[in-house]
Amino acid sequence: MILVLLGPPGAGKGTQAQRIQESRGLTHLSTGDMLRAAVASGSGLGGKVKGIMEAGHLVPDDVIVEMIVDRLAEHGSEGGVILDGFPRTTAQARALEKTLSQRGLKLDRVIQIAVDTDTMVQRIAGRFACEDCGAGYHDTNQPTKAAGVCDNCGGIRFLRRPDDNPKAVRARFEAYEAQTAPLLPYYRSQGLLRGVDGMRTIDDVTAEIEKALDAA
Ligand code: AMP
């Protein structure tokens, strides 16, 4: 199964992708995670995208497409893939179709996680992740069970994203509205789009996504 998760910043795409990856045995590919890894490693790609990401703007399509095509080739998409944060523009959506069709594959489902703006801002402002294993948490919605200790690996160092500040968050919403939201009618017209209510609990949203994946 080739699955795309669409939704504005803070909608819970990463959290849900992690869960669906486990339940369906899919490979989770997050362009945001790949870019953050490139920045952390100090690679040429990282140097190129660091400022763009911190400002909350979209990285140019050619950079993203090259990165994801390489990654799909590396992992082999045949076992199934869940794409989180890609595509984000119509040009990226077309590039995805092309690279899948070259492998005899096609996109099976696009899940839109819908939430309201105020909730998204609150979610983004409170989120953090374990520095060691990457497990995601939130100050109020999903705290660690023991204060300051990662539930998953016992790590005690946590990170907050540099683009989770108010100015960059605003820019990220603007980028979503202007460049990514047009993908909704695009995928709806192809019959691929299913919407889920991202305002519900994390477990409920996962259940809704599972249902949408099982429905024909
Ligand atoms: P994310 O973790 O998906 O919210 O992505 C974080 C940042 O990485 C975004 O605000 C963009 O600057 C960049 N980024 C991630 N995926 C893409 C993409 N598909 N196209 C352009 N920029 C992206």
Q: What is the pLDDT along the chain (216 residues), one digit of tens a residue?
A: 999 999 998 899 999 999 999 999 999 999 999 999 999 999 999 999 999 999 999 999 999 999 999 888 887 667 899 999 999 999 999 999 999 998 888 999 999 999 887 778 877 888 899 999 999 999 988 999 999 999 999 999 999 988 887 788 889 989 999 999 999 999 999 999 999 999 999 999 999 999 999 986
Ligand 1 nearest atom to the CA of residue 57, by list position: 12
**In 64-192, which ranges are E strands?**
81-84, 109-114, 127-130, 136-138, 158-159
96 contacts 192 by C-beta, under 8 angstroms: no
CA atoms within 13 A on the CB side of 114: 8
Q: Answer yes or no: are the C-beta atoms of 93 and 186 closer than 8 Å.
A: yes
Distance 113 CA to ligand 1 centre (A): 16
Token pair listed for 199: 């305002």
Please give the distance, rounded to the nearest whole angstrom, from the Cα atom of residue 210 to the centre of ligand 1: 25
Ligand 1 lining (C-beta closer than 6 Å): 9, 31-32, 35, 52-53, 56-59, 64, 85-86, 88, 92, 163, 172
How far, in Å, is the centroid of ligand 1 from the Cα of 48?
Answer: 13
Q: What pTM was estimated for this model as a whole?
A: 0.86
Residue with tokens 């979610």: 123
CA distance 169 to 163: 7
